[in-house]
Structure 1
Amino acid sequence: MSTALHPKLALFEEGDAATLLPVVDHYCGVEARMLKSLELQGELGPVFDITLDCEDGAPIGGEAEHMQLVLSLLNDPQLNRHGRVGVRVHPFDHPAFEADVDALIQSGGERLAYLMLPKPRQLADVQAGCAFIDAALQRHGTAKPLPIHTLIETHGALQDVRAIAAHPRIESLSFGLMDFVSAHRGAIPRSAMTLEGQFSHPLVVRAKLEIAAAAHAHGKTPSHCVVTEFKSVSSIEAAASRAAREFGYTRMWSIHPSQIQPIIEAFAPSVAEIDEAIAIVQAAQAAQWAPIQYRDTLHDRASYRYFWQVLERAHRTGQTLPKEVCRAYFDAC
């Protein structure tokens, strides 16, 4: 098996496979929560990302002091040991946007996993924001590529979502539920922000589906919005499961450390799914990726891609895989 062509080479054209990100994007803006989250990431490993929040996390008038705190955490080699820490800056039209970007790239550019751009009103905001970021990278001589994530939470951004997803600097699209509902000026009821309502109100469902479809069409990662009922494990598990299995999201926000593990578990494939995927991928590889029959069902390269992606998701969520699978496909587990 180790000498056969790897699934990534056999099943995908160059540039065809999407960038794989951890399934959880954990947001925190208060110092105690940021420290706790970084310590938890150190224990669990890079199975979730951390986004340090300079938008909602910074007190009005205290943006510069908050930035210094964020930089101290970002640049701490013990706290940010896995290199999977990003930062949400202020919106492009906010007076603090340029200062945020410049400070982060100047003092922490080599340690940043990504930057999150919130509240673009249209494609032009994303283009201008990315252009400023790229100019800052060049100005400060930062060689490390810096992926850009963005929030779709305004009418204009949703209207331009396919063009935003197509932008070459964008790695991930997130849905901003609260701001999206608020943008309707009371036309969408508060219930649409609840666990049940956000999966049933037609305008919210439409937005979620358009974002997921646009992201997948351009090989980007769709990231599902928060669930505010953070004390209910069953609520977060139910929401994460629906986001992954009904709405096509491959990543989800958490806003409390207690939400991280339930989201990981909900996004992880089951043991039965993993076992089936291993059997089919191994049989396909042994057949040099020609069509095979497995348990009275025919499979070819189209279904092989699906089962390989099941294995990738298992690895990305920290599931236990057989040693031979780890050695053959993932170097190590």
Structure 2
Amino acid sequence: MIPARLERSQLYVPAHRWHMIEKAVTSPADAVVLDLEDAVPLEEKIRARANVIRALTGLEFGGRLRVVRMNGLDTPFAYRDLTEVMEAAGERLDLLMLPKANAARDVQFVETLLTQVEAAQGSSQATGVEVQIETVAGVLNVREIAAASPRLEALIFGPGDFAASAQMPIEHIGERGAYDADYPGDRWHHAMQSIVLAARAHGLRCLDGPYAPLDNPDGLARMTRIARGLGFDGKQCIHPRQLDVVNAAFSQTPEEVAHAQAVVAALHEAEETGRGAVSLEGRMVDAANIRMAQVTLHRYAQERRTL
């Protein structure tokens, strides 16, 4: 059973920047991602790994999910990222993030290593895994990736690396620019919807990737609304100033909650009176409406627990 975790927002923190880690663990983020991959220069990789262990064992995250993004499996750092962090602080880690997952075997390799380390440590905790879908191969194989491991909890879209893999020109990561204005549709729709559908088919969460421009809150808000409209649960952030916009966009509005409560109340009334049909304000309520209302109230309950 996949844990019911609230991940409206993930805040990336370069793991070699200790002062940024200290600030992140008091931020409004639902999850703090201690990043060992792209945000860390090669010469800082080893020190960053030590900082991750120091943070997990020494800092109070205040209910925020503790996530570590390891380096990719095509690098010389991945194996030691996993084993050193898990051996020293595995009991304090909620989720391990694998970047650039290309196939199911990548997830299964990580699963095997995690199982080995946990067995050696005598740990009863099974650390969850999140994977980033950010290559052409990853998008083409996303169905198999989503079914690869019972540890898997979330699929995450990585627009920057995906654009590079597909040789799609972009101006800023996560932003719609001139090339998008010329295209008669949404250039990113196939990749993003594929990730959402694969995640939902296997009961996983799905998150959109980051929005790079920090001086365009309107652009961030628009891209966040698009992601929610496609069915994503949350979005990654690269700066604390983005968190309020993202959290708000992926939270249930008072109007949505009130409508969901009314739908569920109408269902209960129909059940109590023996009526087969459910109606609300003169309109028929079908099974899809009821399921959506239940999802809304479940997410609202999760959000209330974080207050």
Whether TM-score is above 0.5 comes out as yes
Q: Kindly report which structure 2 residues correspond to 1:58-73, keeping only aligned pairs within 5 A, or say none.
A: 58-73=40-55
Which among 180, 183, 189 is matched to residue 169 of structure 2? 189
Q: Partners in 1 of 2:228 and 2:53 — Cα distance? A: 33
Which among 124, 127, 130 is matched to residue 143 of structure 1? 124
Q: Answer yes or no: is 1:55 the counterpart of 2:25.
A: no
Task: Provide the residue aligned with 1:261 in structure 2.
Answer: 244
Task: Provide the residue aligned with 1:325 in structure 2.
Answer: none
Identity of aligned residues (%): 24
Task: Provide the residue aligned with 1:242 in structure 2.
Answer: 226
Task: Provide the residue aligned with 1:76 in structure 2.
Answer: 58
Aligned residues: 297
Q: Partners in 2 of 1:203 and 1:135 — Cα distance? A: 41
SS in 2 for 1:151: strand
Q: Answer yes or no: is 1:98 the counterpart of 2:47.
A: no
Which among 215, 219, 224 is matched to residue 208 of structure 2? 224
CA 1:288–1:142 in structure 2 vs 1: closer, same or farther (change >3 Å)?
farther
CA 1:18–1:291 in structure 2 vs 1: closer, same or farther (change >3 Å)?
farther
Paired residue type of 1:71 = I
Q: Deviations over 1:40-72 (max 9, x none)?
A: 24xxxxx61111101123331332221111111
Task: Provide the residue aligned with 1:176 in structure 2.
Answer: 158
Q: Deviations over 1:154-181 (max 9, x none)?
A: 1211111001111222110011111111
Q: Kindly report which structure 2 residues correspond to 1:98-177, keeping only aligned pairs within 5 A, or say none.
A: 98-167=79-148, 168-177=150-159
- Shift in Å at residue 235 of structure 1? 1.7
1:148–1:169 Cα contact (<8 Å) kept: yes
- Shift in Å at residue 243 of structure 1? 0.6
Paired residue type of 2:111 = C
SS in 2 for 1:190: coil
Q: Partners in 1 of 2:144 and 2:155 — Cα distance? A: 12
Unaligned runs of 5+ in 2: none
Paired residue type of 1:54 = L
SS in 1 for 2:108: helix
Q: Deviations over 1:2-40 (max 9, x none)?
A: xxxxxxxxxxxxx6x984432111111132322211122
- TM-score calculated relative to the size of structure 2: 0.88
2:172–2:212 Cα contact (<8 Å) kept: no
Query: 166-175 or 309-318: which moved more?
Result: 309-318
- Shift in Å at residue 296 of structure 1? 0.8
Q: Partners in 2 of 1:270 and 1:130 — Cα distance? A: 37
SS in 1 for 2:27: helix
SS in 2 for 1:58: coil
Q: Kindly report which structure 2 residues correspond to 1:266-281, keeping only aligned pairs within 5 A, or say none.
A: 266-281=249-264
Which among 257, 266, 274 is matched to residue 283 of structure 1? 266
Which among 6, 9, 13 is matched to residue 28 of structure 1? 13
Q: Deviations over 1:75-117 (max 9, x none)?
A: 225x323151110001122211111111111111111110000
Task: Provide the residue aligned with 2:290 in structure 1.
Answer: 304
SS in 2 for 1:145: coil
Q: Partners in 2 of 1:308 and 1:199 — Cα distance? A: 36
1:91–1:97 Cα contact (<8 Å) kept: yes
1:19–1:171 Cα contact (<8 Å) kept: no
- TM-score calculated relative to the size of structure 1: 0.81
Q: Deviations over 1:207-243 (max 9, x none)?
A: 1111111111111111101111122222211111111
1:177–1:225 Cα contact (<8 Å) kept: yes
Task: Provide the residue aligned with 1:40 in structure 2.
Answer: 27
Which among 190, 196, 199 is matched to residue 212 of structure 1? 196
1:118–1:150 Cα contact (<8 Å) kept: yes
CA 1:171–1:114 in structure 2 vs 1: closer, same or farther (change >3 Å)?
same
CA 1:298–1:111 in structure 2 vs 1: closer, same or farther (change >3 Å)?
same
Q: Partners in 1 of 2:43 and 2:75 — Cα distance? A: 13
